[in-house]
A and B are shown apart, each in its own frame.
Chain A
Amino acid sequence: KNQVEQSPQSLIILEGKNCTLQCNYTVSPFSNLRWYKQDTGRGPVSLTIMTFSENTKSNGRYTATLDADTKQSSLHITASQLSDSASYICVVSAGGGSYIPTFGRGTSLIVHP
């Protein structure tokens, strides 16, 4: 069964600090991994996508890494801002024409001033 596990479940940091969110997956055959940001009361928005051959991808202050051998990904947020407060969801898609990505439960990040 395809699964995506995220840690920590929640995280509180001070504005300006860095943080790293983790994602472990068992999805086969692997196609790609996305990180989404979901603001409270809104739909998720895609931040990054990584395929099997990519190790690192950046989007502004967000940097995602992928280790396809250990089936782990991380999302690093640099110099956090209050607007980074949101839920961050790891989503893994399988190959072979699958229509259904597998969602993690998300990490809830709160950035305090």
Chain B
Amino acid sequence: NAGVTQTPKFQVLKTGQSMTLQCAQDMNHNSMYWYRQDPGMGLRLIYYSASEGTTDKGEVPNGYNVSRLNKREFSLRLESAAPSQTSVYFCASNEIAGVGVKGTQYFGPGTRLLVL
């Protein structure tokens, strides 16, 4: 299993440009997540998808949109990039075995985004 994969690994954008970050998992997990990590900080949740066909906002959703294309794929789109969106973006997935059961999140390798 490849686990959670992300593309691209690194991207440079100019202010106002748009781009989509791709994420895929091959573990048949229901839930998927997008986080951002700024230098010296912990991760902050941007958006999540509890199951195929559903998405919802996390802690810092402004400036982003997401699409849960199918069970495997969850993409993050920046419509008009801003320097404040310079960060490392991590995708994660989680197997929710059922109510009351704790699950472990599996993270991808990250996408480093620089907005000039």
Interaction A to B: no
Q: Name B residues whose Cβ lies closer than 8 Å to a Cβ of A.
A: none
